[in-house]
């Protein structure tokens, strides 16, 4: 059974979290295809904040992935 710290460390080392944030931004950009650079920055900031909240709130890697896939 994996500990909470192990799965978090693994995701941080591999750069997977940034990839997930990029996917969130890409998904949100589908809803707002024409964005100013200021709005794009706000979108990226929102995606990072959302990912951080899910990352630190999840009790397992499976829950982390499931929660991100729901949104």
Domain ranges of the chain: 4-70
8-40, pLDDT tens digit by residue?
998 888 888 999 999 999 998 898 888 899 999
Looking at residue 32, the DSSP 8-state letter turns out to be: S
Q: What mean pLDDT comes out for the span 42-70?
A: 93
Residue 4 pLDDT: 56
CA distances from 43 to 6, 28, 29, 50 (A): 29, 8, 8, 11
State the Cα–Cα distance between residues 33 and 40, nearest whole angstrom.
Answer: 10
d(CA 52, CA 71) in angstroms, rounded, equals 14
Mean pLDDT of 48-64: 94
Q: What is the reported pTM?
A: 0.82
pLDDT for residue 41 is more than 60: yes
Query: Residue 1 pLDDT > 50, yes or no?
Result: no
């Amino acid at each position: 059974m994996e500990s909470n710290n192990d799965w978090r460390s693994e995701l941080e080392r591999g750069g997977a979290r940034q990839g997930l944030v990029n996917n969130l931004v890409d998904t949100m950009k589908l809803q707002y295809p024409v964005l100013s650079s200021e709005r794009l920055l706000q979108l990226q900031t929102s995606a990072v904040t959302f990912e951080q909240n899910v990352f630190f709130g999840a009790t397992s890697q499976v829950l982390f992935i499931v929660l991100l896939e729901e949104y």
